[in-house]
Amino acid sequence: MKMLDYSAGRLHVFFVVLLQFVVVTHSSAAINTTWEEWKMKHSKVYDNETEFSYRRAVWTKNMNLVLKHNQEAAAGKHSFTLGLNPLSDMTAEEINQKLNGFKVEEAVHLRNYTFKELHFLPVPQSVDWRTDGLVSPVRNQGSCGSCWAFSSMGALEGQMKRRTGVLVPLSPQNLIDCSTTDGNYGCRGGFISKAFSYVIRNTGVDSERFYPYEQKNGKCRYSVKGKAGSCSDFHILPHGDEKTLQAVVASVGPVAVAVNAMLSSFHLYRGGLYNVPSCNPRLINHAVLVVGYGTDAGQEYWLVKNSWGTAWGEEGFIRLAKNKNNLCGIASFAVYPTL
């Protein structure tokens, strides 16, 4: 009996190995073509042969992850798909180091929120502030940990639009260059709350048009001539409270939040409802913007704007599972400014 089990196991292993070998052999030409196309599409040029080989190896690993995940998704095991995007020649560690500049020390504030009960209107089933023109086009932070500046300015843009009737993209570069004395670190990261602290102290922030994005730390060049936004205060929502976040999104507008964006599945997210139970709400590292919420096939989601360009996710957005115990920490650190 024991012998039989053993040999059956061996046969099974042999079969699996053989199958993998066949699959890999048959698809290597196709993978090469995909690599060439991907490189062209995203204008990838590498400095030397060593760099090229390394990037190709990283890309191949991500490619295999995408193929495997999407096969499982087709079999109904996942509610979202993965895809190649401009980040696909970087390891998860590199992306987390370079792009995810939300400072975790901000968690200090979690015990000291300043949220005040609003007189909420009845909360609708779904909200999408894009349709009301409160959301500016998706941006690309590039190789700079400035997510905190994009996220905070996204929330302020929404409030400015509500007040003035005009949607004016605000300048993350202004914050990168000018808010170090408020405790931010430019491309090395920053805090949503300290972004608003700067705007309050400075009594304004410039428009993107006046003070364009450069993807690197620079000298502060704020000028009142380019001023397009201001705020007088900001409020931190109760930690991990998705119900309150929903009420605020519905009645106030887009809210700046931070999430756990550490997993490869987040980096390679293509579309669908991102629902990864292992997305720990305590490991938040990336600031984004909640611009609405809704329901898809009976599953609730948050509609979230990222700053990794439109080639990532659903035209730059991600739908993140809602009311799943604060998945990815979506409600761990939510902030909105008041004018």
Write the interaction track for ligand NAG spanning residues 1-40; mark x where CB under 6 A is met and - where it is not.
-------------------------------x---x----
Of residues 108, 126, 203, 243, which one binds ligand NAG by CB under 6 A? Answer: 108
Active site annotation includes 70: no
Q: Is residue 105 close enough to count as binding ligand NAG by CB under 6 A? A: no
* Phi, psi (deg, nearest 5) at residue 290: -80, 120
CB of 187: closest distance to ligand NAG in angstroms? Answer: 18
Residue closer to ligand NAG (CB basis): 50 or 278: 50
* HEC profile of 49-92: HHHHHHHHHHHHHHHHHHHHHHHHHHCCCCCEEECCCCCCCCCH
CB of 324: closest distance to ligand NAG in angstroms? Answer: 28
Out of 147, 178, 187, 279, the active site residue is 147
CA atoms of 313 and 19, how far apart (whole Å) = 32
**Comparing C-alpha atoms, which of 144, 175, 170 is closest to residue 157?**
170
CA atoms of 275 and 284, how far apart (whole Å) = 16
CA atoms of 144 and 206, how far apart (whole Å) = 20
Of residues 50, 125, 278, 325, which one binds ligand NAG by CB under 6 A? Answer: 50
Residue closer to ligand NAG (CB basis): 32 or 131: 32
Q: Is residue 112 close enough to count as binding ligand NAG by CB under 6 A? A: yes
Out of 62, 96, 306, 326, the active site residue is 306
CB of 174: closest distance to ligand NAG in angstroms? Answer: 25
Residue 231 tokens read as 């705020």
Out of 62, 178, 286, 328, the active site residue is 286
CA atoms of 206 and 61, how far apart (whole Å) = 42
Q: Is residue 188 close enough to count as binding ligand NAG by CB under 6 A? A: no
CB under 8 A, 24+ apart: contacts of 199-204: 199/156, 199/229, 199/230, 199/231, 199/337, 200/231, 200/232, 200/233, 200/234, 202/178, 203/230, 204/228, 204/229, 204/230
CB of 84: closest distance to ligand NAG in angstroms? Answer: 16
CA atoms of 182 and 186, how far apart (whole Å) = 11
Q: Which stretch binds ligand NAG (CB under 6 A): 48-56, 65-73, 151-159, 297-305?
A: 48-56
Q: Which stretch binds ligand NAG (CB under 6 A): 103-111, 259-267, 302-310, 317-325?
A: 103-111
Beta carbons of 262 and 92 less than 8 angstroms apart? yes
Active site annotation includes 286: yes
Binding site residues, ligand NAG, CB under 6 A: 32, 36, 47-48, 50-51, 108-109, 111-112
Catalytic residues: 147, 286, 306
